[in-house]
Structure 1
């Protein structure tokens, strides 16, 4: 397994991503935003490779730029007026910085969700919630697999239709539209049939019945206990910092931020350790394998 963090207990994975995504959604502090954005992009590239690089360059970067531009065009709050647009509405420094912060937050959360989808597989989610909420956990795991499975399936259908001359690149506009509708119809039919087959299969296996047992390869080992302790300690420090207002910033009407102090640095350090833990595990694992190869 390439990612060492993926081999940890599912509860550790879920705890990490839940906390990271919540922190990334609500912390608009510039330092915390930059830390979270950098770690999210690096970890996403580590997990998904070149696909993640293309996604961030061609999708996320334009999204960030657009989101950063839109806010000052519609929000004119703030006391630092830079200039006026044609209709007399002011463009303020505060609205520009807030737009950039929100854009960074959006891209960061999307990257963290990409990492979540790569690490938290459906079997892990069902393992954690299958006995507590069997129906909801099954539906949720199917929803998470919805987009990647449909992308693969529509590619297969398109290739099959191209072989018989009925793809969206054959014929005039009318025939292309007709072929496209036919491809979508095949995809929807497959999705409905697959849903019925999945429901019948799970029902025949007794899924959700009381007393049903299930095989599991997951064990809560010593490494998981250490990681849980580290996560709880870092989360506690971050929450204390949140209570003290260290993780917050006011953009309107004027930018107001806590001055740098020893406690601030301590909170930032805890945030860095918490976010970088998966990459630290991967680095340690790589060093371990290199050491084994050299000694063998």
Structure 2
């Protein structure tokens, strides 16, 4: 049987995978699982974004450090006090929870970036075009406008490369004005183009070359089975995990091996099929 690479999978398979991994990851509280999810997200991001990997890690570390430092400012719970004055109480539990939550938040950003590499505008239109055409169009336009603004910003920087500005505030203010104006003009041009083509007046069909094949069914079944195992582990064993007032010391059980393998297998699923064309 011919098995396509992960990026060449049917849009339903891609959407199901990223929906599963993001939802299952974001609900976790067990620090062992969050560490596994974070490591998996870093590896997958390296596989799909090698050129920007070091930049991603820079933002990853900054975000984790920022959340770790700021969490004790807003959450002053916990028994192990590290520092205390009349305004703030810093506890070990708050610092550790900030570190864990920062890792989870940063890993979510990596998953979204990988999703952006795998799911294109045509996938979004195909998935939501017939069910929710307006939503599909808005999501597709949102993805597209981000890339357009990024490219336009690079053009502005290149145009002003030989025109240094002493006042950075004025420079960035002008850049923002230019980008906002460009966004409005692009949106207006697109709206006029859609109106002239009769968008919204009659029911429309979308041309696509996607076909749901046997290998897509196999991938979807694997994703569903692994996701159900992960959800079973969460609702059955990890849902009540706590950090305050004391961090729960988790005792490993034999069943945990099954759930941990399921989490790692689901997170590493894009790597299995990353470069494979045939089996």
Counterparts in 2 of 1:83 and 1:225: CA distance versus 1, 3 Å: same
1:187 to partner: Cα distance: 2.8
Aligned-partner SS, 1:84: strand
TM-score (norm 2): 0.88
Measured against aligned partners, the alpha-carbon deviations of 1:6-44 in whole angstroms (never above 9, x if no partner) come to 111111111111111112211021121111111111222
Cα pair 2:7 2:118 within 8 Å, conserved:
yes
Structure of larger gyration radius: 1
C-alpha spacing 1:34/1:208, structure 2 compared with 1 (3 Å): farther
Gap change, CA 1:42 and 1:205, over 3 Å in 2: farther
1:202 aligns with 2:202: no
Match of 1:98 in 2: 97
- CA deviation after TM superposition for structure 1 residue 76, in Å: 2.8
What SS does the aligned partner of 2:78 have?
Answer: coil
Change in 2 beyond 3 A, CA 1:14/1:89: same
The reply on whether 1:192 has 2:156 as its aligned counterpart is no
Q: Which gives a bigger RCO, structure 1 or 2 (Cα 8 Å, sep 6+)?
A: 2
Query: Are 1:246 and 1:258, in contact at CA under 8 Å, matched by a contact in 2?
Result: no
List gaps (5 residues or longer) in structure 2: none
The number of residues matched between the two structures is 276
Cα 1:85–1:205 shift into 2, 3 Å: same
* Alignment-derived partner of residue 148 in structure 1: 147
Q: Residues of 2 paired with 1:160 and 1:93: CA distance?
A: 50
State the shift of 1:87 in Å: 4.0
The 8 Å contact of residues 13 and 220 in structure 2, kept in 1 or not, is answered as yes
- Mark the CA change 1:62 to 1:157 in structure 2 (over 3 Å): closer, same or farther: closer
Match of 1:17 in 2: 18
Quick one: distance in 2 between partners of 1:142 and 1:158? 24
5+ residue gaps, structure 1, are 290-296
CA distance in 1, matches of 2:42, 2:34: 12
2:19 & 2:250 partners in 1: Cα distance?
26
Instruction: Please state how far the C-alpha of 1:261 moved relative to its aligned partner.
Output: 1.6
Q: Following TM superposition, by how much is the alpha carbon of 1:84 offset from its aligned partner in structure 2, in angstroms?
A: 3.3
> Does residue 34 of structure 1 match 2:26?
no
Q: State how 1:110-189 maps to structure 2 within 5 Å.
A: 110-162=109-161, 167=163, 169-170=164-165, 172-173=166-167, 181-189=173-181
Deviations 1:219-239 (A, max 9, x none): 111111001100111111111
Write the distance in 1 (CA, Å) between the matches of 2:110 and 2:204: 37
Judge conservation of contact 1:28–1:105 (CA < 8 Å) in 2: no
